[in-house]
Amino acid sequence: MSLKFEFDSFKGASDFGKNLSRNLRASSRHERDHDKHIIVVPENNLNGVAATTLVVSIVTAGLMSGQHYLDQERFGTVVEAMQRANPELANMTPGQVGEHLSLLSHEQLQGVVNNTKGVYHEMLYVDAVNGAGLETEASIHSEINTPGSDVVFSSEGEVYNEIQLKATDSVSYVNEHLEKYPNIEVLATEEVASKIDGVESSGFSNSVLEQDVSTGFEQLISNADATDTATEAISSAVTDEVIGLGPISLVTGLLFGIF
């Protein structure tokens, strides 16, 4: 039997199919059934990928909710940024981190997200600069709270410049830095860079950074109890039943499903 995933929109189906291919290496095809869009994972594909493994992977990755998804590299960067921004988490395994995050209040979790987003921005920017083939090297300060700057530039071992990076949609937040450190250049996320004369964009969007970090946290929390979640999901299955899930539902001809 094939696995079938039913969507209300073509975009939802298309995005899900692409995620299956890119992140889980599962091939699929698109079909129409009246006003529904269906992604089919053929039976011959399931011969190479255990069906239960595929379902567990979908639950763990969060693909069924239609939410933003991080590839493994970006997910690893979010975790590294979080542990740098929050030293008390540095020696925890991802499972322990997820369990820790699940116990935080909304306000506490938002604080961790904000701290992580700033460091994540720095790490992505440094990777982008160093991957551009320039005769310069960018690096993050060894100390996380170095006054005035986040990233230093060096050539042949000599530091020649430093900058501050701001991941925000607040103009006033950037202006505060400019007033306090007028001699240190600021690069900001796209949302505010376009609103302030003399401030260039870092090349990243604050909203995308927030989405990446939030998704990474959701995956950590989900992965912390993924086994329990997957067990409940599989045991709740009914053959050939359509199960509603917001904008998406699952049709399965196998003896398992997702709640």
Provide the residue-wise pLDDT of the chain in tens; the chain has 259 residues.
567 777 777 767 777 777 777 666 677 788 888 777 787 877 666 544 445 555 545 544 445 544 556 678 888 999 999 999 999 999 998 889 988 998 888 888 888 988 999 999 999 999 999 998 888 899 999 888 888 999 999 998 899 999 999 999 899 999 999 999 999 999 999 999 989 998 999 999 998 999 899 888 888 887 775 534 444 443 443 233 333 333 333 333 222 233 2
Q: Are residues 39 and 78 in the same domain?
A: no
Same domain, 243 and 118: no
Residue 122 sits in the same domain as residue 209: yes
Of 166, 194, 200, the C-alpha closest to 180 is 166
Structural domain includes residue 60: no
83, 160: one domain: yes
The answer to whether residues 204 and 231 belong to one domain is no
3-state secondary structure of 257: coil
Number of domains in the chain: 2
Q: Is 246 left (phi over 0), alpha (psi -120 to 50) or beta?
A: left
Whether residues 92 and 179 fall in one domain? yes
Q: At what angle do helices 206-224 and 94-102 cross, to 10 degrees?
A: 100
Q: Is residue 105 part of a domain?
A: yes
Can you give the residue range of the structural domain that contains 151? Answer: 73-213
One domain for residues 14 and 128:
no
Beta carbons within 8 Å of 101's beta carbon, 6+ residues apart: 109, 112, 217, 220, 221, 224
Helix (H) or strand (E) holding 157: none
- How many Å apart are CA 193 and CA 137, to the nearest integer? 23
Query: Does residue 157 form part of some domain?
Result: yes
- Tell if the pTM clears 0.75, that is, is over it: no
Residue 170 belongs to a domain: yes
Q: Which structure tokens are listed for 107?
A: 């306000």
Strand order in the sheet with 3-7: 29-33, 36-41, 3-7, 248-252, 242-245
Q: Are residues 123 and 234 both part of a single domain?
A: no
Residue 161 tokens, joined: 């410049």
Position 57 in a domain: no
In a domain, 65, yes or no: no
Helix H segments across the chain?
10-24, 43-48, 51-61, 72-85, 94-102, 106-130, 171-180, 190-193, 206-224, 226-235
Please report whether residue 120 resides in a domain: yes
> What tokens were used for 113?
């997200």
Q: Does one domain contain both 116 and 153?
A: yes
Residues 32 and 125 in one domain: no
Q: Which residues contact 15 (CB under 8 A, 6 or more apart)?
A: 66
